């Protein structure tokens, strides 16, 4: 299938870093307990920042490094579960703050932690119908706004941040497969007018679902494309919990080093996690033309997706 070219990346993190020791003064927990169960040491949380300001910063960095004419961006898609407003969308406010052309589509997409991968598929589809050659994709979350800091099973996991990617059409290989299974029991956050909006999660159920979903995403994308893990340069998993990724890694012996991890100092940033990984790999020179990336994620919905991207 006709693919995409990653033109540029960008990222943004709040200034405030919340360590596990600081977390232990908020809820009954310890640094050792958190690290053992999640692999997380610290996370960034918003104090003066917002979902919009993080998205604007990450997108601005991507546009600056791309060298493209911003007027050639035909769509802005923001994957988020924590917008500043029910409406207007974060995407529309990104358009305003960055002074982008009004001749574009701008909308938010909600698929929880799978949001960026869903946005990747939507953005690729739009490239074939837009009059302009570029799409700006942003994964952005201010999860600290919906965390229940009395629930030590969930509050230790999440952090805030944003990652942005500019994509264009190319003749390189792309393949994606996505799934959805309606379930409001495992992981949810009530909506407007429904009471206090806080994350509610059944951790053990989510863990089992996550391992199976990630494995399915990898297996089916590889099978459908006729590839094996030997052909993949980086396997970029949603950074939800180190133990989840470790359980997936074990099913691909000898390929463990291809699974990139940056959860230690970021926590679970939901829709921002995969684009944050992409930007880190890009900034550190570890993405090269011709590489094959296998991105896989899962989230509330339930949703999950796997995507092969050839650079």
Pair 286, 174: CB distance under 8 Å? no
Pair 94, 106: CB distance under 8 Å? yes
Pair 165, 9: CB distance under 8 Å? yes
Please count the other Cβ atoms lying within 10 Å of the Cβ belonging to residue 231: 12
Phi-psi region of 178 (alpha: psi -120 to 50; beta: other; left: phi over 0): beta
**Residue 295 annotated in active site:** no
Instruction: Name the one residue in this structure whose structure tokens are 């994308």.
Output: 221
Of the listed 237, 268, 282, 295, which one is catalytic?
268
**Residue 237 annotated in active site:** no
Return the beta strands (E) in 121-160 as ranges: 134-141
Of the listed 113, 155, 235, 237, which one is catalytic?
113
By CB atoms closer than 10 A (0-12, 13-18, 19+), residue 89 is: buried
At residue 7, the 3 state secondary structure works out as: strand
Of the listed 20, 155, 189, 238, which one is catalytic?
238
**Residue 268 annotated in active site:** yes
Give the active site residues: 113, 238, 268
């Amino acid at each position: 299938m006709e693919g995409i070219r990653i033109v540029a990346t960008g990222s943004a993190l709040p200034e405030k870093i919340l360590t596990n020791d600081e977390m232990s003064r908020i809820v009954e927990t310890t640094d050792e307990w958190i690290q053992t169960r999640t692999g997380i040491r610290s996370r960034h949380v918003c104090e003066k920042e917002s979902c919009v300001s993080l998205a604007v910063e990450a997108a601005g960095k991507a546009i600056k490094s791309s060298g493209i004419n911003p007027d050639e961006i035909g769509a802005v898609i923001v994957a988020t579960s924590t917008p500043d407003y029910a409406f207007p969308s974060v995407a529309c406010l990104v358009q305003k703050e960055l002074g982008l052309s009004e001749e574009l589509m701008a909308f938010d997409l909600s698929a929880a932690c799978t949001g960026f991968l869903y946005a990747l598929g939507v953005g690729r589809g739009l490239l074939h119908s837009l009059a302009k050659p570029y799409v700006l994709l942003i994964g952005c979350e201010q999860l600290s706004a919906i965390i229940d800091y009395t629930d030590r099973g969930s509050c230790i996991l999440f952090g805030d941040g944003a990652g942005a990617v500019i994509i264009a059409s190319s003749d390189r290989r792309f393949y994606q497969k996505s799934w959805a299974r309606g379930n409001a029991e495992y992981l949810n956050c009530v909506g407007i007018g429904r009471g206090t909006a806080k994350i509610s999660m059944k951790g053990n159920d989510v863990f089992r679902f996550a391992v199976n979903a990630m494995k399915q995403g990898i297996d089916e994308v590889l099978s459908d494309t006729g590839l094996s893990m030997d052909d993949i340069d980086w396997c970029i998993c949603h950074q939800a919990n180190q133990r989840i990724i470790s359980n997936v890694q074990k099913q691909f012996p000898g390929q463990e080093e291809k699974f990139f991890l940056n959860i230690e100092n970021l926590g679970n940033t939901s829709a921002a996690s995969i684009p944050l990984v992409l930007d880190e790999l890009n900034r550190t020179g570890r993405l090269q033309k011709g590489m094959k990336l296998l991105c896989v994620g899962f989230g509330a919905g339930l949703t999950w997706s796997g995507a092969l991207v050839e650079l």
